[in-house]
Structure 1
Amino acid sequence: MNPMKDPFLKKTKSIKRYETAFERTIVSIITLIITVTMSMLWFSHGEKLVQGLVNSLEIRAKIMGKMKEVWEVLILSSALFLLKGIFRPSDRRKGSVQAQINYFLNLELAVFTVVELILITDIVYDEGYVGLLTRLVLNLLAMSYFVGLRVLQQLCEFLHFIWRHEFLYVGNVFEIRNGGKYQIIDIHLKGVGGLICKEESTGRIVNMPSNSFLRATLVLGNYTVEGRV
């Protein structure tokens, strides 16, 4: 049999080019199932457990209320991770940017979850060293979260450009008007984002930052993309 006509090989090749929905969501699905199951067990038997450990009705009620909020946050976070897996980019031909977006979103969701859990506790209002340290950690996490959102905002134009144009795949060759031809080696989000390319005429490896790349006029055959002014 001609290996190029083997349908199994074609299927395998397509899987390598795209990350399947199963690959993107399996961990999040398992996490959500475990979280929901544990929360149901808590709501079924948690009160009996607390009764065996705490005598005060007021403290028991407070613990049950806090745990209810904790499980709500954990379920919400697990659901957000699942939605992230469903909707995040799956095209591996876009290079490192596909995985880096996933890492970035994971970090943002993790920080969001930790901040919410800290706010649920009363430790943040403690007047001692523990409260001071908790507030410091909370402020650092909040700052990192908003910095991450700011970075994402700055990269939005580049990400939109990369996914809007089908010819920007690893291995493809494009031409910059009056600037030579380049083969794409990788697409990344480091710094301001950009492309790592090999210059066709010299074989030199160059890193094109997104801010200069977006200003260039790109040519691929009869297809031309005018750069921004």
Structure 2
Amino acid sequence: MFVRTENFKEFLKFYPVVSFLVGLHFALWILMDFLQIGIAQDLKAWGMGVNLFILNGEYWRLVTPIFLHADFTHALFNSFSLVLFGPALEQMLGKGKFILMYLFAGIAGNIGTFIVNPDAYYAHLGASGAIFGIFGVYVFMVLFRKHLIDQANSQIILVIFALGLFMTFARPNINVLGHLFGLIGGFAIAPPILRNARPFSLWQIRTRHSNRGNNEISFNPTRWKKRKLPGKSTGKYILWGIILFLALFALINRF
């Protein structure tokens, strides 16, 4: 579920929303921070969440920070999290519901920041609230929709969720309210969007795409036996890999 076995072309085809969001993160970073194009930097200032400006009626700032990042490390970490946890949920929900959930959670994080944070000049940006919304949906699955997620992936989610919360409070310069309200937003919208959802299945995705455009559905029952499916031990390796990545990221941000 969280072990990516697709090649690059398959990833783009199977998960178009996640692919677009990751591409947008880096495209905006290149324009705004790497190339430092004037109009792009103006757009960044125009889109950043600033409580005082929102109070004065610039309500688009409740949405635009979801797609902006402070620097390359910020964009890389959020994109990594999105690539890891977004694809399975996009397949389970469908493109429309995934977009709805992502925007709802991100906006919930920004609204929570605006309402609860007393600092009128507080500025924030980043997709973290929306990504914590993804965690919120998964946590809802673990608690109330156990048929959608197996025990091994449930354990991965709970461990990463705990690490995410720890890093939220341990790292400096983090929009804690954005993370928490994004998480709440994802959890809150989970019941309606998970209605009729099915467990993640890479086999079903590949079968659906291979049959798309064909007049007759053909299926070779031995086709997938030739493919080596990841075993249970692979899940442990990916979990430790994620933990190591998060630990290194936390250390880097200390300097």
TM-score (norm 1): 0.30
Which structure: greater strand fraction?
A: 1
Which structure: greater helix fraction?
A: 2
TM-score (norm 2): 0.28
Rg larger for: 1
Q: Of the two structures, which has the highest relative contact order with CA contacts closer than 8 Å and spacing of 6 or more?
A: 2
